[in-house]
Structure 1
């Protein structure tokens, strides 16, 4: 991203609110596909696996959007020539085109605006698509916009609020959870047959957010200086190793998140709970993820990201172990939602401090989180075929223990000299 003075706010108050609304909308979009599957199947004559391709296309577009917009942020245009006297005097704050800076770099407003438009056009096209291939193409387009917003706002919030960045990221991502809860509720209220109207309404809701982009600065704070910001010398560990473990942490914890959401109802029914109770417990799990992010926001002002993530991984591991006891399972899964909630948003500021000069680091972990969500289903399904449904919490507990091990390794390896 293009850099600016660290003491200049990136977001106006209105832009902060609009960003939270944007995250609510991307949470709703991701959650709309599943409840609308019965209508897809009836309208286009699809098999269950064929209907599931809608969400897969969305996720593929999301990963592509993260990687594409990461390349476009601050992409240079021409470089203006600066007189030698001006170079000796040093750059003037806030002015582009000096000392080799690009004067036509794509700014934050342009990228976010394009992402909102892509998501709106894709959602509207999905609603009006005459056939399933066209609908999949539109889901992919909406996913591109989704990825751009997810990446862009997470990155800007991670560097744009100083010591409050971790708290603000948790609040931002909590709104994603609110959208994920409201989206299926809306489909349930109007009926899946009316999904085109819901997707069209969603597309229109994106457009007013474009007006609030005037409150977003085109340039974000650059890398920090000082020993804390040296990502190349972290107790003898290579920067590549640190990034690889961060990526592993994100893939694994999002795999747990998706695994619990997908398999909790089946596991609870297998150990004796009714279908209604199992569905309600799964809704509580998602609700606790949202609540957990709001709760951790004030905590993040007092404790480090490393401490919060360590406690989260440890608590998640214990809760998954307790979920293997049938009488405790619904409550233990709710605890998993509470503990897993802060990991994604809290890890980003830590990553920026550990590797501030690794420009692609944020894109790698956000893309990895999406890949983790896609890969969790088949990988966990294969393991369940071997071990049985009752082993679901223990399998996920093992993955959670790996998350804890990765966190402890990162704490040791990113401690500055």
Structure 2
């Protein structure tokens, strides 16, 4: 599916989409001042990006197989570049939101397109390659805010413009991508999946549940860890550093699991990940252990998203739209996690954050065990 140069360029593309998603937050103070926005209005920038992302996944899934892979990815890079440049140069807030929506469309196309092609394009190495690809998303998510911090949020237009220009060289590497993807393997595949033991609909529903729940945990820890740690008595600086370590461990975990994925099945990796995540969230309720336990959550949650996709393609080879369904669901999970968890915290208190997330993690483990049973070859 990919030449070596195209693999490197694809990883670079994931660095860029990780950076783009992470650039909006640190830039909020500057564009709040520039456009005289309330906090809720400023938050619409990231919301527009995610709405565009979901639409991009669904749109480009409709085009997948009808147009060549190079056309889809090229259009996605161009949309993201135009949207980022438009956001940087927007004369007013409605124009900026339109540009963020455009950038999100490209973001969704790249996220879906590359995940889909890596899931089917490397054979037994697909799980390892997907973990490496998604680890580069984490690299971008770390570098983006660091860049805004280095130049100052008031210079966010220059950062977004630089980001837009960085997309363009990747277009030159698309000739190394095969224009048509191979069909997923049939009824036999490494790891014991293939012929479905239960109905296709129930298996897809369990995959969607797993993705929605684990992305909700990912967003929940990222959003509420600083507040929880400060409630436990840690200083603001320690809480912020611990949250950065959580995101760093998520990136490191994906790099570490790549060689492991060559020896162990996706089912085994995700089962261990969900169990480890559940234990770490339980330990995060202990004040002395909380910062270290959250780092452990980052390490264990890391492989779930990229490792589940090859398993999904082997379990449901006839469901062409399965990949787009779970990727779109994961984005919806990230959007819904904030208000849903916020309501639960209002009722239970800040100290209950890790226990609430632990309950969700336990549901992830249950969904995984059901999936193992439901996708076992008869």
Q: TM-score, structure 2 length as denominator? A: 0.98
**Deviation per residue, 1:374-398 (Å, 9 max, x gap):** 0000000000000000000000000
Question: Is the alpha carbon distance of 1:15 and 1:230 closer, same or farther for their aligned partners in structure 2, counting shifts above 3 Å?
Answer: closer
| Deviation, structure 1 residue 270 | 0.3
CA distance in structure 1 between the partners assigned to 2:233 and 2:377 by the alignment: 51
Q: Secondary structure at the match of 2:25?
A: coil
| Deviation, structure 1 residue 227 | 3.0
Deviates more, 1:234-243 or 1:312-321: 234-243
CA distance in structure 2 between the partners assigned to 1:187 and 1:364 by the alignment: 33
Question: Is the alpha carbon distance of 1:230 and 1:23 closer, same or farther for their aligned partners in structure 2, counting shifts above 3 Å?
Answer: closer
CA distance in structure 1 between the partners assigned to 2:191 and 2:329 by the alignment: 20
| Deviation, structure 1 residue 226 | 4.7
Q: Corresponding residue for 2:38?
A: 47
CA distance in structure 1 between the partners assigned to 2:20 and 2:308 by the alignment: 24
Q: Which has the higher helix share?
A: 2
CA distance in structure 2 between the partners assigned to 1:319 and 1:236 by the alignment: 32
Q: Is the 8 A contact 1:187 1:195 kept in 2?
A: yes
| Deviation, structure 1 residue 237 | 1.1
CA distance in structure 1 between the partners assigned to 2:318 and 2:250 by the alignment: 31
| Deviation, structure 1 residue 40 | 1.2
CA distance in structure 2 between the partners assigned to 1:11 and 1:176 by the alignment: 19
Q: Is the 8 A contact 1:229 1:356 kept in 2?
A: no
Question: Is the alpha carbon distance of 1:141 and 1:245 closer, same or farther for their aligned partners in structure 2, counting shifts above 3 Å?
Answer: same
CA distance in structure 2 between the partners assigned to 1:222 and 1:264 by the alignment: 42
**Deviation per residue, 1:143-179 (Å, 9 max, x gap):** 0000000000000000111100000000000000000
| Deviation, structure 1 residue 235 | 5.4
CA distance in structure 2 between the partners assigned to 1:359 and 1:379 by the alignment: 31
Question: Is the alpha carbon distance of 1:20 and 1:142 closer, same or farther for their aligned partners in structure 2, counting shifts above 3 Å?
Answer: same
Task: Give ranges in structure 1 of 5+ residues lacking alignment.
Answer: 1-9, 76-105
Equivalent runs, 1:177-196 vs 2, <5 Å: 177-196=138-157
Q: Is the 8 A contact 2:186 2:317 kept in 1?
A: no
CA distance in structure 1 between the partners assigned to 2:186 and 2:87 by the alignment: 49
Count of residues paired in the alignment: 376
CA distance in structure 1 between the partners assigned to 2:285 and 2:183 by the alignment: 47
Q: Is the 8 A contact 1:247 1:368 kept in 2?
A: yes
Q: Secondary structure at the match of 2:188?
A: helix
1:17 counterpart = 2:24: no
Q: TM-score, structure 1 length as denominator? A: 0.89
Q: Is the 8 A contact 1:58 1:139 kept in 2?
A: yes
Backbone CA RMSD of aligned residues: 1.4
Superposition misfits of 4+ residues, deviation over 4 angstroms: 229-232
Q: Is the 8 A contact 1:229 1:355 kept in 2?
A: no
CA distance in structure 1 between the partners assigned to 2:190 and 2:167 by the alignment: 39
CA distance in structure 2 between the partners assigned to 1:221 and 1:327 by the alignment: 51
CA distance in structure 2 between the partners assigned to 1:241 and 1:107 by the alignment: 31
Q: Secondary structure at the match of 1:130?
A: coil
